Amino acid sequence: MWLEILLTSVLGFVIYWFVSRDKEETLPLEDGWWGPGSRPTGREDESIRPFKVETSDEEINDLHQRIDKARLTPPLEDSRFHYGFNSNYLKQIVSYWRNEFDWKKQVEILNRYPHFKTKIEGLDIHFIHVKPPQLPSGRTPKPLLMVHGWPGSFYEFYKIIPFLTDPKSHGLGDEHVFEVICPCIPGYGFSEASSKKGFNTVATARIFYKLMLRLGFQEFYVQGGDWGALICTNIAQLVPSHVKGLHLNMAFVLRSFYTLTLPLGRHFAGLFGYTHKDVELMYPFKEKIFYSLMRESGYMHIQATKPDTVGCALNDSPVGLAAYILEKFSTWTKSEFRDLEDGGLERMKVYVPTGFAAFPCELLHAPENWVKFKYPKLISYSYMPRGGHFAAFEEPQLLAQDIRKFVGLLERQ
């Protein structure tokens, strides 16, 4: 058995070496047009327009009618959340949503921060831009671009924003004060979706870089998890001289050599540079990595291959969409939640100073040497005491503290 594992690891290393070697260190900036039809002649409208979140009685009445007509199938006995969102608990969610949820109050909450839209590469890009309410004399805020993932939106950052823009009021001191820009990825929230095939994280990264330039920022920090982590990584690869620092709470490093050591890592942790905490978070291998990824990645295949098919169902059924998304907020927050009735790409290396927050309940733990393989200028790696995939939403103060720690270390260099 050990010989088989060893041969597999060696073979994997050989394949990795010949297929995945870095061929360049930056991505080409290029340009694009993702709006409908052909790119118009003349200069693109670069105006930035205020935007306000609104809803209407007609929209809410339509939603209520769709909720009232939902048809739910009883779950298997004692299935809890092992087969997805438990329909018994979904009934409680739907009842609250239909009868108690205060839409006017929620719209007021969404409009708490300033919203804007601007056209970039043919798409209407939505973002919030939050400036500090007060600044120490003679100081300027640090611009910070924060990018969400799936299933998420700009709203993921509402809890963390006060810790970053007004840290002194929250007991964090005023050494590092940020102004925060949170855009919606095209196709998410209030940002327009691409009309053309081929739109990817690199195109998104270029659009968000153009957004920061349009806002007057030549240098800025970036932070993200999930797809936001890859988009922010791509920004660092596209324009490294403009990114002062990159902070992540998820890393796409599955193609690194270190991932090939997983079968042997538990028994030879020191040889591969794994700490006791790494071993605790990654093993047993079958349960922590193989089964976990198999269980939690089914959505990815259908969305990557047949998005229009599942999109029809999810767009038509608000209850179906709620189950589809809320299930991820359960099991991606903590895998053990599936035992409860209520569900309680790497491309190239990145030579931008990087900080990483390793949350213990993330879908896949990335040890420090994995992260450092792709991000050689890793200057801050933190084992977070609690939290999962939706870090900014679950543990805003912890993530804010780690961002501040990273920026502090970087600026003292």
Residue 404 in contact with residue 177, Cβ under 8 Å? no
Indicate the range of 303-307, 349-353, 377-381 predicted with least confidence: 349-353
Indicate the range of 77-86, 91-100, 111-120 predicted with least confidence: 77-86
Sorting pLDDT into bands at 50, 70 and 90, what band is 158?
A: very high
pTM of the full predicted structure? 0.82
Res. 18: pLDDT tops 60: no
Per residue in 221-279, pLDDT tens?
Answer: 999 999 999 999 999 999 999 999 999 988 877 655 556 666 666 666 777 778 888 87
Mean pLDDT calculated for residue range 382-398 = 89
The residue ranking higher by pLDDT, 156 or 276, is 156
pLDDT value of position 200: 95
Res. 103: pLDDT tops 50: yes
pLDDT value of position 212: 98
Per residue in 76-94, pLDDT tens?
Answer: 998 888 888 899 999 999 9
Res. 334: pLDDT tops 80: no
Res. 336: pLDDT tops 80: no
Res. 13: pLDDT tops 70: no
User: Which domains, and CATH codes, for the chain?
Assistant: 26-35+46-411 (3.40.50.1820)
